[in-house]
Amino acid sequence: MQLMEAIERYESEVRSYVRSFPTVFEKAKGSYLYDINGTAYLDFFAGASVLNYGHNHPELKKALIDYLAGDNITHSLDMASRARAEFLITFHEKILEPRGLNHRVQFPGPTGSNAVESALKIARKSKGRENIIAFTNAFHGMTLGSLSVTGNAFKRAGAGLPLTHSDRMPFDGYLGEGFDTIDYLDRVLDDSGSGVDQPAAVITETIQAEGGVNIASTEWLRHLQQLCRKHDMLLIVDDIQAGCGRTGTFFSFEEAGLDPDLITISKSLSGYGLPLAVTLVKPQYDIWEPGEHNGTFRGHNPAFVTAKRAIELFWSDQAFSHEVTAKGRHVREALEKLARKYPEASAKVRGRGMLQAIEFAHKELAGTVAKKAFKHGLIIETAGPADAVLKLMPPLTIEQADVDKGLQIIDRCIIEAMHDLGIGAPRAAGQ
Ligand SMILES: *Cc1c(COP(=O)(O)O)cnc(C)c1O
């Protein structure tokens, strides 16, 4: 049986990315994936920001192979292991301490959703309240708790039961420019007639990556933090996709100078695509009873090894951070040039660091470009409720020449897609 046929026949209908990128991948290196025919695909998706350091980074691979070859322990529940302790030391010394953070590290389970679930639980337990404020177009995961604070109607419907104990508030920019949606939240919380129960916490992303690359401004984030303090709510920042260097700093909220009570990170934390998630908890809220939030895979030793190595390699000084910022600026300028080149597409560009996006007035243009890009050897995703946003998320380690190559493919695909959709079609002679 052909390999793709096996997937189509045996795997559940729920499979999704295989439908956007319909080939059978076999190998990957740096910024490229290779399918079973040896066709190369440039990666502008990076596993939804799991592969910030590229595919199979040689230094991370070496650390992993050495660990496995030495018969070092792979699974140990949450018993003490050298790999676990060394990860905690490195994470504390190179990430938390230099940023003035003294959070405890909880290993909630292997996925981002696990980290969100544990953050919601501990917020509710700390404050003794049920309600959580989440924002329009938020994405926090697929388990019931994390789905209850996620916006997407299609994904929510999959729950099969009412998703309760959370209220939705407008994210930054949702009600147009010049409207500070935090003022609205403040009003609602001050008003005993608003119908909004006093929340235990607010959960937010700094950039809604799945929700359409919607950027929260520095002022909005600071205002939100102030409001959390004012109304005695915990601030949870879900940094699962925007964290681990994607925006140019390790945490995406560093520029805003936030001090969140709870922080979730996962995706690129292991640096190698191995599942690893953490919930960072301020000591005063670390009120778990031992084993109260349990799980079989709470800290996978091989993932600790690559995570530690990745932090040493990329976060021991500022060099990588500056590099990401410079690359992000380059991508941004190139996208703005494209937007000017095709005024008939009425494109808007937005993003931070190496999470950049272009949104077209025609709702089908981004999807058409992404589909064509795959045919031209570029893997790129769309985002937002209508998939009208083309999201650029290459590995942070990508070479300049590959950035430009990907941008050229996008340029070519915009021309083709506009032609197919009849956007800005040249008028017939004589008109
Ligand atoms: C991916 C993601 C999650 C969920 O992580 P999983 O590992 O898929 O469960 C939660 N929040 C954000 C912002 C994400 O991007």
**Is any atom of ligand 1 closer than 6 Å to the C-beta of 117?**
no
**Is any atom of ligand 1 closer than 6 Å to the C-beta of 240?**
yes
Query: How many CA atoms does the CB half-sphere of 125 hold within 13 Å?
Result: 15
CA of 241, closest atom in ligand 1: 15
Helix residue ranges per DSSP H, 100-258: 112-127, 144-148, 153-157, 181-190, 218-230
**Is any atom of ligand 1 closer than 6 Å to the C-beta of 345?**
no
Instruction: Give the DSSP letter string of 259-287.
Output: --SEEEE-TTSSSSS----EEEE-GGG--
Q: Where exactly are the structural domains of the chain?
A: 3-57+318-421, 72-314
Residue nearest ligand 1's atom 11 by CA: 140
38 CA → ligand 1 middle, Å: 31
**Is any atom of ligand 1 closer than 6 Å to the C-beta of 113?**
yes
Domain spanning 72-314: CATH 2.60.120.10: no
Predicted pLDDT of residue 362: 94
337 CA → ligand 1 middle, Å: 32
DSSP assigned state of 91? I
CA of 277, closest atom in ligand 1: 7
Predicted pLDDT of residue 278: 98
Residue nearest ligand 1's atom 5 by CA: 112
Q: Which of 405, 406, 397 is nearest to 56 (CA)?
A: 397
Cα dist from 319 to 133, 248, 249, 323, 356, whole Å = 37, 10, 11, 6, 21
Predicted pLDDT of residue 425: 67
pTM for this prediction = 0.97
**Is any atom of ligand 1 closer than 6 Å to the C-beta of 205?**
yes
Task: Enter the tokens of residue 395.
Answer: 């590995």
Q: What is the CATH number of domain 3-57+318-421?
A: 3.90.1150.10
Q: At residue 142, what is the residue type?
A: M
Select from 142, 203, 266, 300 the residue to mutate for testing ligand 1; criterion: most ligand atoms less than 8 Å from CB. 266
Adjacent-strand bridge partners of 203: 236
**Is any atom of ligand 1 closer than 6 Å to the C-beta of 239?**
no
Cα dist from 32 to 58, 237, 246, 409, whole Å = 14, 31, 18, 15
Q: How far apart are CA 205 and CA 237, in angstroms?
A: 6
Select from 240, 262, 381 the residue to mutate for testing ligand 1; criterion: most ligand atoms less than 8 Å from CB. 240
Question: pLDDT tens track of the chain, all 431 residues?
Answer: 899 999 999 999 999 999 999 999 999 999 999 999 999 999 999 999 999 999 999 999 999 999 999 999 999 999 999 999 999 999 999 999 999 999 999 999 999 999 999 999 999 999 999 999 999 999 999 999 999 999 999 999 999 999 999 999 999 999 999 999 999 999 999 999 999 999 999 999 999 999 999 999 999 999 999 999 999 999 999 999 999 999 999 999 999 999 999 999 999 999 999 999 999 999 999 999 999 999 999 999 999 999 999 999 999 999 999 999 999 999 999 999 999 999 999 999 999 999 999 999 999 999 999 999 999 999 999 999 999 999 999 999 999 999 999 999 999 999 999 999 999 865 444 44
